[in-house]
Amino acid sequence: MSDSFKAIVINQSGEKFTREVKSIEKSFLKHGDVLVKVDYSSLNYKDALIMRNGARLVKEFPHIPGIDFSGSVVESENNNFKPGDEVILTGWRVGEIYYGGYSQYAKVNGDFLVTKPQSLTTKQTMILGTAGFTALSCSFAIKAREELLLGEKVNDVIVTGASGGVGSISVMILAKFGYNVTAVTSKPDNNEYLKSIGAKNIINKADFDKEAKPLDKGLWDGAVDTVGGNILANVLAQTKDSGIVAACGNASDIKLNTTVMPFIIRGIKLWGINSVNASSKRRKFIWNEATNLIDFEKLNQSIKEISLDELLNVFPKMLKGETSGRYIINLNK
């Protein structure tokens, strides 16, 4: 590897918070036992929060953000990996308490890595990234109703925040499962794209962003909620008997004003999805299933490939709700 390489470094001194692309050396990387040459990373909502001000997730500065990455092993002191292995990292608080993927080289605990399936490229794994991994986890939670819990077949499902990374990928996967997918979005410009990846119906976010009834007409066998707040409360009130709601985000609100009625009258299940600490066994299963469930040709329509320098200008737009689809960072760009 070269003596120096590029990384985004965030720092805080008193009230002053900074972020910049810097040239650093290998000695700067202080964590882990496997050194990876990073090909791609991605921009997730959590990344944008960390890039803004650390989001109270970063405990020590200076710091390299980026909660996921893919690339090739360069050096390894871990028996499970050797130079040349292509690997994926999502979660495990990398990019928060450990240095992350917004760097041309990353050094991490080998236990955090998953060997990349041969059927996927490193670019495709970051087209999915943490968002895709979360979407797959949410979708399988809904599928659990008919497979794991041996309940009735799932037919009608709803996805909130459908224009975002997790939401749009969830739409595609749930449609691939054969479900009738309704997408909730505040961006009408994305309606045709959402239909092209499998949405049968589109609902405006405003129809859900209001105080929810304790129970409403049952419409959904399952739901993926990426936003929380009133929207999640309305989804819960509209979920049918024995339905499953997979909740994974709080872009709208961290608060949930609901009642016990959907749970004790209809027996629905609110399934929290935490992709950060998923087991290695589950990670391997999810990544191997991705090949069969993701149409990358269609997904590519919503992908923007950017550099580290461009990322500094894009992340504020995500926080303002001005982005859609997925942004991936090419570390060689």
Work out the average pLDDT over 275-295: 93
Which range is least confidently modeled, 1-5, 45-49, 155-159? 1-5
pLDDT for 232 equals 97
pLDDT for 145 equals 93
- Beta carbons of 167 and 136 less than 8 angstroms apart: no
Domains annotated on the chain, with CATH: 4-116+295-330 (3.90.180.10), 131-272 (3.40.50.720)
Supply angle C-alpha 47, 175, 272, rounded to 5: 45
What amino acid occupies position 144? A
pLDDT for 88 equals 98
- Which two three-digit tokens encode residue 323? 């982005």
- Which two three-digit tokens encode residue 142? 């809904």
pLDDT for 300 equals 87
pLDDT for 165 equals 87
Residues in the chain: 333
| Enclosing H/E stretch for 315 | helix 308-319
**Mean of pLDDT over the chain:** 95
- Beta carbons of 244 and 145 less than 8 angstroms apart: yes
3-state secondary structure of 172: helix
**What digits encode the pLDDT tens for the residues 37-79?**
999 999 998 999 999 999 999 999 999 999 999 999 999 999 9
Q: Which residue has the tokens 């209001």?
A: 210
Work out the average pLDDT over 78-99: 97
CA–CA gap between residue 242 and residue 315 (Å, rounded): 39
CA–CA gap between residue 185 and residue 204 (Å, rounded): 5
Among 133, 71, 79, smallest CA distance to 107 is for 71
Give the pLDDT band (50/70/90) at residue 322.
confident
On the 0-12 / 13-18 / 19+ scale of CB atoms within 10 A, 220 is buried
pLDDT of 307 higher than 90: yes
pLDDT for 323 equals 87
What amino acid occupies position 331? L
Q: Are strands 34-43 and 105-108 parallel, antiparallel or unpaired?
A: antiparallel
DSSP secondary structure, 191-228, as one string: HHHHHHTTEEEEEEGGGTSSPPPSS----EEEEEESSB
pLDDT of 101 higher than 90: yes
As a whole-number percent, the residues of the chain with pLDDT over 70 amount to 99
Work out the average pLDDT over 25-33: 94
Cα dihedral across residues 20, 325, 67, 54: positive or negative? positive
Tell whether omega for the bond before 214 is within 30 degrees of 0, i.e. cis: no
pLDDT of 299 higher than 90: no
- Which two three-digit tokens encode residue 260? 């016990």
Work out the average pLDDT over 80-104: 97
pLDDT for 330 equals 98
pLDDT of 1 higher than 80: no
**What digits encode the pLDDT tens for the residues 164-214?**
889 999 999 999 999 999 999 998 988 999 999 999 999 999 999 999 999
pLDDT for 321 equals 84
Give the pLDDT band (50/70/90) at residue 83.
very high
Work out the average pLDDT over 102-119: 97
What amino acid occupies position 263? F
Work out the average pLDDT over 283-291: 95
Phi, psi of 225 (to 5 degrees): -110, 125
- Beta carbons of 87 and 73 less than 8 angstroms apart: yes
By 3-state DSSP, what share of the chain in percent is helix, strand and coil, each rounded to 5? 35, 30, 35
- Sequence-distant (6+) residues with CB within 8 A of 271 are 141, 144, 244, 245, 246, 247
Instruction: Provide the CA 127 distance to its chain's centre, in angstroms.
Output: 10
pLDDT of 149 higher than 90: no
**What digits encode the pLDDT tens for the residues 111-137?**
999 999 999 999 999 999 999 999 999
Work out the average pLDDT over 105-113: 97
Q: Within the chain, where are the H helices?
A: 45-53, 122-147, 165-176, 191-196, 229-237, 261-264, 280-293, 296-299, 308-319
- Beta carbons of 243 and 157 less than 8 angstroms apart: no
- Beta carbons of 176 and 198 less than 8 angstroms apart: yes
pLDDT of 302 higher than 90: no
